[in-house]
Amino acid sequence: MSVQCAPVTSSTIVVAVDVGKTAALFSVTDAARHLLVSPTEFTMNRSGLGGAAASVMAAVPVSGQVKVAVEAAGHYHRPVLDHLWPDGWEVLELNPAHVAEQRRVQGRRRVKTDVIDLEAITELALSGHGRAIADRDVVIGELSAWAGHRSRRITTRTATKNQLLGQLDRAFPGLTLALPDVLGTKIGRLVAAEFSDPSRLAALGVNRLIRFAAVRDLQLRRPVAERLVAAARDALPTRDAAIARQILAADLNLLAGLDAQIQVAEAALAVLLPRSPFSTLTTVPGWGVVRAANYAAALGDPYRWPGPRQIYRASGLSPMQYESAHKRRDGGISREGSVALRRALIDLGLGLWLTEPAAKAYAGGLKARGKRGGVIACALAHRATRIAHALVRDHAAYDPARWI
């Protein structure tokens, strides 16, 4: 979790670290902006980081108040944050956007080098910026990993389904007319897997198809069975149906594997979420384990956010605003922020919109005033942001009376 940063004094010494995938650069500067160690490169491995730390310790006075400032770089900077630095040293994580803005302040908006980045990191640390890092909550890291894994598998499954439907149209033309959501139902999956050749389904007949489904613990209504058999008997033959069925079988195996991985990820999230600071989010109507876990993964350490305004702004949902010479011009949503956080907040807002009475009334009032769907979605995402932040901050269950 994050802790309060120590104030900058005349004895403060900043160790700035700019991390890359295989190599990193560091420098050591005192409070008077004097370089104690010039920018030096080290390899991103145990011996390289250990050697860099030894060089820093040799250059730092015993009485120095050391701040190790690291610019966040995806996951590449994590080993530097987790390194066992000497007792009393403060480790800071800096937002890359703040580092880029600091370069602009220094008149180097169009120039980006590792050395210039080190100067910007140093200046931010000496100005009191950065998030102090203590022991990271392992549960939050595990939540983020499983939520990201599930999200990637969902994306792959969607793409696979789209490709699979194309093969299915070649193998069994007209099936989607009888059963529009083929891959979204168990009966549809059964037909795709066992009867991609329409002649087999036509020969089976309605009664035997119903019994075939019943043996596999699937209830097939007679009207649906009649539509399927009729579609099979009326299907137009295609020249590439045979190869389409082979590809279809391979895609179905891939789809089954993706479904299994998604189920494993959701089971892991169900175990981890109650052990995390986000456990109370599932007390909100419409917020299940997956929605809450996606929010947790996108937000990260909840203690680093001062309030819901900062979270909402970081998602990129805040409208752009320009004001000069007493004239104000507001623009649309900036979308400059975390895509994952933006999606998570909109999804939380959608959960409220669909199930929570007060949110339904709020959305209805906005719609009655002529607001478009996108505006309503953003408004509910803003409401969801405030609710989620309050519940995590107070470790409290959802109280409908508080959010009327």
Name the residue range of residue 306's domain.
277-403
pLDDT exceeds 70 at position 153:
yes
Residues 115 and 19 in one domain: yes
Q: Indicate the pLDDT class of residue 18, thresholds 50, 70 and 90.
A: very high
Q: Indicate the pLDDT class of residue 223, thresholds 50, 70 and 90.
A: very high
The first and second tokens of residue 380, run together, are 């509910």
pLDDT in tens, 71-103: 988 788 889 988 888 888 999 998 888 888 888
As a whole number, mean pLDDT of residues 313-341 equals: 70
Residues 260 and 296 in one domain: no
Q: Note the pLDDT of residue 1.
A: 46
Min mean pLDDT across 111-115, 192-196, 219-223, 239-243 is at 111-115
Please give the tally of structural domains in the chain.
3
The first and second tokens of residue 217, run together, are 């613990």
DSSP-derived secondary structure for 226-294: HHHHHHHHTPPP-TTHHHHHHHHHHHHHHHHHHHHHHHHHHHHHHHHGGGSTTGGGGGSTT--HHHHHH
**Better-predicted residue by pLDDT, 153 or 114:** 153
Q: What does residue 300 show for φ and ψ, rounded to 5 degrees?
A: 75, -145
**Domain finish residue from 136, 158, 187:** 136
Dist. CA 238–CA 235, nearest whole Å: 9
Tokens 């999804």 identify what position?
347
Residues 284 and 330 in one domain: yes
Give which of 262, 247, 263 is closest to 165, Cα–Cα. 247
Residues 93 and 172 in one domain: no
Residues 123 and 149 in one domain: no
Dist. CA 175–CA 194, nearest whole Å: 13
| Single-letter amino acid, residue 100 | A
Residues 347 and 253 in one domain: no
As a whole number, mean pLDDT of residues 236-250 equals: 90
Specify the DSSP element, H or E, that contains 322: strand 319-324
Residues 88 and 147 in one domain: no
Mean pLDDT computed over every residue of the chain: 89
Q: Note the pLDDT of residue 356.
A: 92
**Domain finish residue from 221, 250, 270:** 270
Q: Indicate the pLDDT class of residue 134, thresholds 50, 70 and 90.
A: low
pLDDT exceeds 60 at position 231:
yes
**CATH classification of the domain holding 237:** 1.10.287
Residues 78 and 160 in one domain: no
Beta bridge partners of 26: 17, 40
**Domain finish residue from 226, 246, 270:** 270
Dist. CA 263–CA 384, nearest whole Å: 26
pLDDT in tens, 188-205: 999 999 999 999 999 999
Give which of 67, 95, 68, 63 is closest to 79, Cα–Cα. 68
As a whole number, mean pLDDT of residues 161-179 equals: 89
pLDDT exceeds 60 at position 275:
yes
Cα–Cα–Cα angle for 85, 27, 301, rounded to 5 degrees: 50
Specify the DSSP element, H or E, that contains 102: helix 96-105
Specify the DSSP element, H or E, that contains 92: strand 90-94
pLDDT exceeds 80 at position 109:
no
The dihedral sign for the CA sequence 106, 109, 111, 117: positive
Residues 65 and 114 in one domain: yes
Residues 147 and 68 in one domain: no
Min mean pLDDT across 58-62, 162-166, 193-197, 327-331 is at 327-331
Residues 243 and 117 in one domain: no
Cα–Cα–Cα angle for 402, 391, 360, rounded to 5 degrees: 50
Q: Indicate the pLDDT class of residue 325, thresholds 50, 70 and 90.
A: low
CA gyration radius, the chain: 28
Q: Note the pLDDT of residue 244.
A: 92
Q: Indicate the pLDDT class of residue 2, thresholds 50, 70 and 90.
A: very low
Residues 165 and 108 in one domain: no
Residues 284-294 as b or e (16 or more Cβ within 10 Å = b): bebbebbbbbb
**CATH classification of the domain holding 58:** 3.30.420.140
* Strand extents, DSSP E, 154-217: none
The first and second tokens of residue 175, run together, are 């099936």
- Percentage with pLDDT > 90 across the chain: 63
Using DSSP bridges, classify how beta strands 65-71 and 90-94 pair: parallel, antiparallel or unpaired.
Answer: parallel
